[in-house]
Chains A and B, each alone.
Chain A
Amino acid sequence: MFQLQNIDKAFRDRGEVIHVARNLTWELASGAKTALMGESGAGKTTIMNIIAGLDSVDKGTVTVNGIKLSSVSNREVSDYRRNHLGLIFQKFHLVPTLDVWDNAALQARLAGCFDAEAAESLLNRLEIQHLINHYPSQLSGGQQQRVAIARALMHRPKLVLADEPTGNLDEATSDKVIELLVDTATSVGSSLVVVTHSHKVASHLNECWHLASGTLTPSA
């Protein structure tokens, strides 16, 4: 699905150089469901941004779905994100003035592949079909995150990147949401990378990687 080849990434913070990636190589197979763990400030979000084409590398190559991100235009990177990528955040970030239906359909519409029947089916699977006329302010945290998952998956992306998707939820809701995320991603055929601090969340995924000092190592 994607391949990070010998990448280096560092940035300065108050005079100190922080290495996020040192000659890092990482490959994810199509359909894989992976957890990315690491301490705060290790650079997990930066790696996610690099895969999403939102950040560049100092050295090395990034290839996603056959596209070498460093050699295509900004517009093509934008097209890649719109058509082939789904993003999920800790704080949901739904559009407050759109109802559940329009929020869930947002990226599919931007990608020009919105299918109402498929959308209904997805919302059913995520158990939020009955909420389609509600606005984000009328939903619980778990319900909002399910809408965010629907938004990230409705256009059947090749890859879904989820940054702490359960960080804002209680344990019971967290379990339910991660189960739904993994199941739904599987049903639409998307690869999934979940950034998390929680081993419990990581246990729902096929594999787990640990990022520390710019190096990735597989963890048990």
Chain B
Amino acid sequence: MTRRFIIALATTLSFYRSNKLQGLFVLLGLVLGCGLYTAVAQINASARASYAEADKILGASSQLRISDRQQTGVSVDDYIKLRRSGFSTVYPVLEARLPTSEGALISFIATDLLALPIAPAAQETDVENPFRGSDWSRLTQPPYEMWVPAQIAKKIGVRDGDRVELPDGTRLPPASIRSQTQQNDRVFMDIGAALNVLGTDRLSYLAVGELDDNQQTLFQEQFGDRLALSRNTEAFDLSQLTQSLHTNLTALGLLSFIVGVFIVFNAVNFSLSARTKVFRVLDELGVPAPEVGLAILIETLIWSLTGALLGTLLAQPVSTALMPAVASTMQNIYGAHVSSVPLFNGELFLKALALASAGLAMTLMLPLMLIASEPAARATLGPIQVGRSSSRALAAVGTIMILAACAIYPFASSLIQGFGLLALILFAGIALLPAVIISVAAFGKAALGYSWLGRWAFADILSQLPHLRLALMALLLTLIANIGVTSLVGSFRIALTDWLETRLSADYYISDKALSSTDLIGQSWISAAHQRKVAEVRFSGRKAEVIGIDVTAPDFQQGSVIDAEPNAFARWINSVDTETPVFANEQVRYLAGVQVGDAVNLMTNLGPHAFRVIGFFHDYGNTKYAFHLPKERFDILYPRAEVQGWGIWVTDKDIYKAEVGLNKLGVGPADLISQNDVLLLSMSIFDRTFAITRALNALTLVVAGVAIFASLLSLYQLRRPEYALWRAIGMRWIEFFCVAGSPVILMTGVVMIISLPMGVALAWLLINKINVISFGWTMPMVLSASSIAFLFCLVLCLVFMAFLLASLGQRTAVSSALKQLAGE
């Protein structure tokens, strides 16, 4: 039995010896699909590991956090008093983000190493333990030292011993490059060095390992009047906030995998069809069907293992290349510190193996079923009729999916449901595709009845469709996703630009908190100057900001209000109600479920205070809840609110005069940023933020291009004798292109036409459903005709190149193909 089975296996596998290209395509599909999916899974796992580390500093876990009630940072004096009062697990944390003199932004974190509550066991084993070796002492003694993660050192061009300079000329302690990733992409310093460098005596917060009930009571009694103790929920918040991005990335990764599976399907389908005779011969020679089945199963396992292994290897450079873009997204959108070095674990390989096996099993199932059922079906119906009936069935499924999407839409309120809707749209598109192509072929054939070549070209669509169907579906999926995501990003970019231009209309923003209004009064170069004040509070479990709005400022506008009570502005400005009227951002409405007229309680400097929400305003891209109060009312409720600085509008836009004037007032370059710089910086951050989406979109498009090429190659290999005959009877290349090439272009055209409304629907869902569910804000949808036209031109070029390559690849000697014809 074993000997017989080995012979059967060797016979079935011998196909790949003479059809190396098919073997290559099975492998290529698996490697690309698994590779991209694993890369994305690795990115997600790395980011989640970073969130889990978010509440740790060099391995020390902080369960609780102490902050200043006035939101001005905890004073060093309070920290010392706490330690002296017996709170020995308290340690200080200072976080900041500063530009270097060369324009790079560095995130810092600093703590008191000697106060870190690291468990003794961890001290022995933890590789991140700062007390391993003796070099930690250099951190705490002048001239100090700062630990720079290797990836950041590479990014900002810093080597061991270098001293980074800030725009005001301050030089940071000498750099020590560390390969450890525990601080993610943050530079680490001792607290003493950081206070010195940053010129402050206030800490961002105090972290606390754990406090029992007695200690918490003691804390409230001694420090409760000015310090607040809260549970550290940063990691939890980050996981919640970033869930949408990770789901989005997973969806794009899965999309790549599905497109890869389509390539595999084509190759497997071809290899099984081509081996029907082999299977029959084995059957005639007495090999039982289960043994042939087992041979195919073992072949599948060999492919899965090889595909998963190579895919996982491919994932390493891909995830390493994409990780900085993800880290940038996390930092810029969510304020989350994520390591730019991806992590790898064996579980990811097992997942890739499971995916590859599942993908191959799926791709094997249909061809095997077809092999078993098609001879009978073909005998009665013929291939074209078989294709037509299966297309009709698929179209019915597609229509049901669209109807289901319409029915579910009003009720979808969670991310899973939102992505379920997206999946319905995507799969409805691919289910409708064959029926639409067959209808277009029938219409074209009838419309071009007078031209035999046109008739033939449209008729040939029906010959090519069964072989190209899956590749075209993969292309359609990719195009829908591409148009949807590109439109989302484009709309976001335009919304952000509009927002920046209207909301940040001041010519300069000055962060010098010491600058007073008396300094600015009487300066002829200033046409308007307004102070910006913000108080940080928590609302509905998340960070929230209360902002004092100066209604006389040039950037004040009423236009962004989306829903409000009658006369809301007049009542808001005059604050005549017993409950203070407040405008909230749309995030409060969509995420916290607050309605116009609802009362909300917020902490003020005077204690808890009741506000009444009288309207909502658009607030694109803000991850925090925000509440707007008139400046006068704000100053009463938050007298100790942090001054963020000044917005200055310059008379006649005379920048030279303004810069001279600012210099005279003692405002240094570090405290000053021009509107143009803000815009450029914001847009560059935005573009970096969405680099991951663009990269994944481009990669998926490449995989779809490979799918088309692989399918065309299989098709041409299958039809080579037929094409050889055409050439033997004197067909010219241009006629060959008309008959064999134009159907591919026509079908691609149909794919593009379907992808347009489907892509727009996807963008609309992303903006108005997923965005609202995930972030709580919306924006106007803007479709970029030029981007879509560029995408379509690119796809047409890609498909035409695939046709050229595939048709050139099959131009072997006509005589050998004709021998095949004669010898069949």
A residues with a Cβ closer than 8 A to B are 45-46, 49, 52, 54-55, 78-83, 85, 87, 89-91, 93, 95-98, 102, 105-107, 109-111, 135, 137-138, 151, 163-164
Contacts and interface: CB of A to CB of B under 8 A. Distances in A.
A163 B815 contact: no
Interface in B75-109: none
B412 interface: no
B822 A97 contact: no
B730 A110 contact: yes
The 8 closest A-B pairs by CB, nearest first: A82-B730, A97-B459, A137-B382, A55-B815, A81-B730, A54-B815, A49-B815, A107-B729
B619 interface: no
A54 B383 contact: no
B822 A137 contact: no
B394 to A, nearest CB: 20
A138 B382 contact: yes
B338 to A, nearest CB: 55
B462 interface: yes
A52 B728 contact: yes
B652 interface: no
A83 B725 CA distance: 15
A163 B732 CA distance: 23
A109 B453 CA distance: 9
A89 B822 contact: yes
B722 interface: yes
Interface string B545-574: 000000000000000000000000000000
Given A105-B452, A110-B735, A137-B383, A54 B814 contact: yes
A56 to B, nearest CB: 9
Given A97-B384, A110-B730, A89 B725 contact: yes
Interface in B349-373: none
B383 A96 contact: yes
A211 to B, nearest CB: 15
A93 B730 contact: no
B214 to A, nearest CB: 87
B610 interface: no
Given A54-B728, A98-B459, A151-B729, 5 more contacts: A49-B819, A78-B730, A82-B731, A95-B722, A107-B729
9 contacts: A45-B822, A79-B730, A89-B725, A93-B821, A96-B383, A97-B460, A98-B456, A110-B731, A110-B735
B463 interface: yes
Nearest to B464: A97
Contacts of B819: 45, 49
B721 interface: yes
A137 B382 CA distance: 6
B730 A83 contact: yes
A83 B731 CA distance: 11
A55 B727 CA distance: 13
Question: Which of A102, A111, A137 is packed against the most chain B CB atoms within 10 Å?
Answer: A137
Contacts of B462: 97
B818 interface: yes
A81 B729 contact: yes
Contacts of A138: 382
A107 B382 contact: no
Given A54-B814, A102-B452, A135-B382, A89 B821 contact: yes
Nearest to A168: B824
Contacts of B813: 55
A13 to B, nearest CB: 12
B455 interface: yes
A107 to B, nearest CB: 5
A138 B822 CA distance: 23
Question: Which of B463, B732, B818 is packed against the most chain A CB atoms within 10 Å?
Answer: B818
Interface string B172-213: 000000000000000000000000000000000000000000
Nearest to A90: B822
A52 B725 CA distance: 12
Nearest to B725: A93
B462 to A, nearest CB: 5
B735 A163 contact: no
A49 B731 contact: no
Contacts of B822: 45, 89-90, 163-164
A81 B813 CA distance: 16
A54 B729 CA distance: 10
A83 to B, nearest CB: 7
A55 B816 CA distance: 9
A106 B729 contact: yes
A110 B726 CA distance: 10
Nearest to A96: B463
A164 B813 CA distance: 21
Contacts of B384: 96-97, 135, 137
Contact of A109 (B452, B814, B818): B452
A163 B822 CA distance: 7
B550 to A, nearest CB: 73
Contacts of A79: 730
Contacts of A96: 383-384, 463
B348 to A, nearest CB: 47
Contacts of B463: 96-97
Nearest to A45: B822
Nearest to B459: A97
Contacts of A81: 728-730
Contact of B824 (A49, A87, A91): A91
Interface in B431-464: 452-453, 455-456, 459-460, 462-463
B473 to A, nearest CB: 21
A107 B462 CA distance: 21
A54 B818 contact: yes
B729 A82 contact: yes
Contacts of A106: 729
Contacts of B728: 52, 54, 81, 87
A137 to B, nearest CB: 4
Nearest to B385: A137
Question: Which of A80, A97, A111 is packed against the most chain B CB atoms within 10 Å?
Answer: A97
A87 B680 CA distance: 70
A168 to B, nearest CB: 10
A91 B462 CA distance: 21
A49 B730 contact: no
Nearest to B453: A109
Interface string B473-486: 00000000000000
Contacts of A107: 729-730
A107 B730 CA distance: 8
A81 B727 CA distance: 9
Contacts of B823: 45
Interface in B780-824: 813-815, 818-819, 821-824
A108 to B, nearest CB: 10
A144 B822 CA distance: 16
B810 to A, nearest CB: 16
A54 B462 CA distance: 29
Nearest to B823: A45
Nearest to A167: B822
A31 B548 CA distance: 104
A80 B822 CA distance: 21
A18 to B, nearest CB: 13
Contacts of A97: 384, 456, 459-460, 462-463
A72 to B, nearest CB: 14
Question: Which of B727, B821, B822 is packed against the most chain A CB atoms within 10 Å?
Answer: B822
A93 B721 contact: yes
A89 B724 CA distance: 12
Given A49-B818, A54-B814, A93-B721, A110 B459 contact: no
Interface in B733-789: 735
Contacts of B460: 95, 97
A182 to B, nearest CB: 21
Contacts of A151: 729
Interface in B295-317: none
Nearest to B460: A97
Contact of A110 (B729, B821, B824): B729
Contacts of A83: 730
